[in-house]
Amino acid sequence: MSSINKELSSIIDQWVDWLRTQRNYSTHTIMSYLSDLNIFLSYFSKDELCLVDLEKMDIRDFRNFFSQRAQQHIGKSTIAREEAAVRNFFKWLDDNGILQNTAIFQMSVPKLPKNLPRSLDVHTTFDVIAQAQKDCKELWIGVRDMAIFTLLYGCGLRISEALNLNVEDINTTNFLKIHGKGNKDRYVPLLPIVLERIEQYKQCCPYNLSIGTPLFVGARGDRVTPRVIQRKLQKIRAILDLPDNVTPHTLRHSFATHLLAEGSDLRSIQELLGHASLSSTQRYTDVDLEKISQEYQKAFPD
């Protein structure tokens, strides 16, 4: 396994800082990119890797590394992300005049299968939300989980966005300010049913929910973690006989898919979801068309 000299280590730290401050990448993405780059650098068996070594790498070095990753049965999506991280780093080195090596950009980007967002039909979505309140040791826990599931679906939130809310974030303006991925803020409308279920939860919660404290708390009064909600949905999947790929994030996908089916335009859905590019939102048109095709096949079988 390679080590890197102090100069290269310092440059990598500068790249990471740039990802955070200039590109507004999330902590999760930054850590993944840094891990991917370290795996790449570790492939080259040298006592101490330096900038000159990176400058001398040719297309065979890059191909050999990614070929080895494939032989190790690393998933295509993981390899694609690793390649994106390495490309990002070498482009940053070039843009900042540190070194120029265009070999990796001569490689073709691996094509990935098109994964459509998972979504539920409207009736199943409501069944999932209703089930969230059932089979809980304490009534208020069930009311809390129903409020969280309603919020995920009613506002199209990521689970982290919902659980990071504090009490003061829910106000009388009927709009919710969300601090999302990439440190970007967006506003989403709060439907009456969402406000109603959050209020029901607040009324029966045994803990003091005051300004500056988490909105959703667990049995010990601490902020609820995503794992708690993920486990709850695992139980609901078993009860409702749903596939294993149904997760809390599925409620966000269902929110977008149902809006599209009801005629909402892609730009509005993009704003509500907080997508940086319209291409991310356009995947939902494929979901909708796929469902229409399935219904057509049922009506007109071969």
Query: With a threshold of 0.75, does the pTM exceed it?
Result: no
What is the rounded CA–CA span in Å between residue 80 and residue 182? 21
Q: Is the torsion defined by CA of 151, 153, 156, 162 positive or negative?
A: positive
The alpha-carbon radius of gyration of the chain (Å, integer) is 23
Q: Which residues are catalytic?
A: 158, 181, 249, 252, 275, 284
CB of 103 within 8 A of CB of 59?
yes
**Residue 144 vs residue 297, higher pLDDT:** 144
- Residue keyed to tokens 């080590």: 3
Q: Is 263 left (phi over 0), alpha (psi -120 to 50) or beta?
A: left
Give the pLDDT of residue 152. 92
Which H/E stretch holds residue 173? none
**Lowest pLDDT segment from 49-58, 127-136, 169-178:** 169-178
Instruction: Return all residues near 275 (Cβ < 8 A) that are at least 6 apart.
Output: 281
Residue 298 one-letter amino acid? K
Q: pLDDT tens-digit profile of 226-277? A: 999 999 999 999 999 888 888 898 898 888 888 877 777 667 777 777 665 5
CB of 156 within 8 A of CB of 256?
yes
What is the rounded CA–CA span in Å between residue 159 and residue 253? 12
Mean pLDDT for 7-27 is: 89
CB of 49 within 8 A of CB of 40?
no
CB of 116 within 8 A of CB of 290?
yes
Which H/E stretch holds residue 190? none
Query: pLDDT-derived band of residue 116, with 50, 70 and 90 as boundaries?
Result: low
Half-sphere exposure (Cβ direction) of 227: Cα atoms closer than 13 Å: 0
Give the pLDDT of residue 36. 92
CB of 266 within 8 A of CB of 196?
no
Domains and CATH numbers, the chain: 6-106 (1.10.150.130), 122-299 (1.10.443.10)
CB of 190 within 8 A of CB of 174?
yes
